[in-house]
């Protein structure tokens, strides 16, 4: 089923059929109806492969993210889709599972379809990936993180700054014996940077992380519970007074554990997570957290791509740094008598 079939069925040249189907140029209402009718009757679906080759225009935006299953990237997608839906552009998603070599492969695959732009999570890529991004000749937006050098544009937050901010808040509230709970993911650079910012501020205050726990795989909520139990038990003689989690899901697990055990939160121990996922609204206590601005990052990235597609000469290298807001909730409160 090709344009030619529609052309023959309607008795109109292929070119005119093409014009009708794309709403391009002037076509008389009569031929227009004739063509549309024929196309509908035949069940014609245009071949974008041929169209794209002929016009060298592809209305696809490659979106490359580390994971689909942890609640944060679907929200980024929501923001992206929201903006792209107002344009002709369509997102196409690739998932890397936090593996650089996988990212490189996915990027290669996607670039081979000659998309109109790339939105890619993070600033850390293999040399080859950076080379591809640099040479692609299309707008590139690196998202989620602004601690580093983008290839082109970037939209995100400073995770180092986010870590610092939370550390200050915790110290200022009078907590001193702080534990850290996170993922076993050396390649989650954003978690790493938050951790670095966090420990940096602690160090300046003469403090250190007292103990830490790491997990991988499984139900994050359950892991949060288990890790919390483990870290608390391990430090019973000199108890911890604060637990900083690298994401809200494990923090929620920790919160549920503490409540189960009748531990006074935040009196006996304070808790904080990261991401401000919607989920935490349903918990028994409002968990302290920090908004990672996911929807807004998605929106801003999509806007940059859309603008650059409209206007290819303008706006290279734009960097947007969003400011994550802290939310103290009920689990991070100024202590009566700070040490």
Partner DNA sequence: CTGAAAGCGCTAACAA
Partner DNA sequence: TTGTTAGCGCTTTCAG
Q: Are 109 and 93 in contact (CB under 8 A)?
A: no
186 contact choice in a second copy, DNA, none (CB below 5 to 8 Å, kind-dependent): none
Q: What residues from 24 to 43 belong to the interface with a second copy (CB under 8 A)?
A: 43
Q: Which stretch binds a second copy (CB under 8 A): 26-34, 50-58, 152-160, 237-245?
A: 50-58
- As measured in angstroms, the least distance from the Cβ of 4 to a second copy is 15
R_g (Cα) of the chain, nearest Å? 26
The residues with which 142 forms a beta bridge, in sequence order, are 120, 154
Please, which residue, 134 or 338, has the CB nearer to a second copy? 134
337 contact choice in DNA, a second copy, none (CB below 5 to 8 Å, kind-dependent): none
Window 250-279: contact mask with a second copy (x via CB under 8 A): --xx--x---x-----------------xx
23 contact choice in a second copy, DNA, none (CB below 5 to 8 Å, kind-dependent): none
325 contact choice in DNA, a second copy, none (CB below 5 to 8 Å, kind-dependent): none
Window 129-168: contact mask with a second copy (x via CB under 8 A): --xx--xx--------------------------------
Assess 127 for contact with a second copy (CB under 8 A): no
Q: What residues from 190 to 249 belong to the interface with a second copy (CB under 8 A)?
A: 218-225
Helix H, strand E, coil C: the string for the chain is: CCHHHHHHHHCCCHHHHHHHHHCCCCCCHHHHHHHHHHHHHHCCCCCHHHHHHHHCCCCEEEEEECCCCCCHHHHHHHHHHHHHCCCCCEEEEEECCCCHHHHHHHHHHHHCCCCCEEEEECCCCCHHHHHHHHHCCCCEEEEEECCCCCCCEEEEECHHHHHHHHHHHHHHCCCCCEEEEEECCCCCHHHHHHHHHHHHHHHHCCCCCCEEEEECCCCHHHHHHHHHHHHHHHCCCCCCCEEEECCHHHHHHHHHHHHHCCCCCCCCCEEECCECCHHHHHCCCCCEEEECCHHHHHHHHHHHHHHHHHCCCCCCCCEEEECCCEECCCCCCCCCCCC
Positions in the binding site for DNA (CB under 7 A): 2-4, 12-16, 18-19, 21-22, 24-28, 30-32, 46-47, 50-51, 53-57
225 contact choice in a second copy, DNA, none (CB below 5 to 8 Å, kind-dependent): a second copy
Name the nearest CA neighbour of 154 among 162, 163, 144. 144
- As measured in angstroms, the least distance from the Cβ of 69 to a second copy is 5
14 contact choice in DNA, a second copy, none (CB below 5 to 8 Å, kind-dependent): DNA
Q: What residues from 87 to 126 belong to the interface with a second copy (CB under 8 A)?
A: 90, 92-93, 95, 108-109, 111-114
Q: And the tokens for 66?
A: 């580390």
28 contact choice in a second copy, DNA, none (CB below 5 to 8 Å, kind-dependent): DNA
Q: Are 181 and 224 in contact (CB under 8 A)?
A: yes
99 contact choice in a second copy, DNA, none (CB below 5 to 8 Å, kind-dependent): none
Assess 295 for contact with a second copy (CB under 8 A): no
Q: Which residues bind a second copy (CB under 8 A)?
A: 1, 43, 45-50, 52-53, 58, 68-69, 71, 74-75, 77-78, 81, 90, 92-93, 95, 108-109, 111-114, 131-132, 135-136, 218-225, 252-253, 256, 260, 278-284
């Amino acid at each position: 089923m090709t344009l030619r079939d529609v052309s023959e069925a309607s008795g109109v040249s292929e070119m005119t059929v093409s014009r009708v189907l794309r709403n391009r140029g002037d076509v008389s209402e009569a031929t227009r109806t004739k063509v549309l009718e024929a196309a509908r009757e035949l069940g014609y679906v245009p071949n974008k492969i041929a169209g794209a080759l002929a016009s060298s225009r592809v209305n696809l935006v490659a979106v490359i993210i580390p994971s689909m299953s942890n609640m944060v990237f679907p929200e980024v997608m929501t923001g992206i889709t929201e903006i792209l839906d107002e344009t002709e552009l369509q997102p196409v998603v690739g998932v890397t599972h936090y593996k650089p070599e996988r990212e490189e492969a996915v990027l290669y695959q996607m670039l081979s379809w000659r998309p109109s732009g790339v939105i890619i999570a993070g600033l850390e890529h293999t040399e080859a990936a950076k080379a591809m991004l640099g040479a692609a000749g299309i707008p590139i937006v690196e998202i989620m993180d602004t601690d580093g050098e983008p290839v082109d544009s970037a939209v995100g937050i400073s995770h180092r700054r986010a870590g610092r901010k939370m550390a200050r808040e915790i110290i200022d509230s009078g907590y001193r014996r702080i534990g850290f709970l996170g993922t076993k993911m050396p390649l989650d650079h954003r978690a790493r940077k938050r951790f670095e910012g966090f420990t940096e501020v602690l160090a300046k205050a003469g403090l250190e992380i007292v103990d830490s726990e790491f997990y991988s795989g499984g139900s994050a909520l359950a892991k949060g519970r288990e890790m919390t139990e483990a870290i608390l038990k391990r430090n019973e003689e000199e108890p911890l007074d604060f637990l900083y989690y690298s994401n809200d899901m494990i923090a929620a697990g920790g919160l549920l554990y503490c409540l189960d055990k009748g531990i006074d939160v935040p009196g006996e121990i304070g808790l904080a997570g990261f991401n401000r996922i919607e989920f935490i609204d349903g918990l028994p206590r409002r968990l302290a957290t920090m908004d990672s601005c996911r929807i807004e990052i998605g929106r801003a990235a999509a806007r940059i791509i859309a603008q650059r597609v409209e206007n290819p000469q303008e706006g290279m290298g734009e960097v947007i740094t969003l400011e994550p807001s802290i939310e103290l909730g009920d689990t991070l409160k100024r202590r009566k008598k700070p040490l």
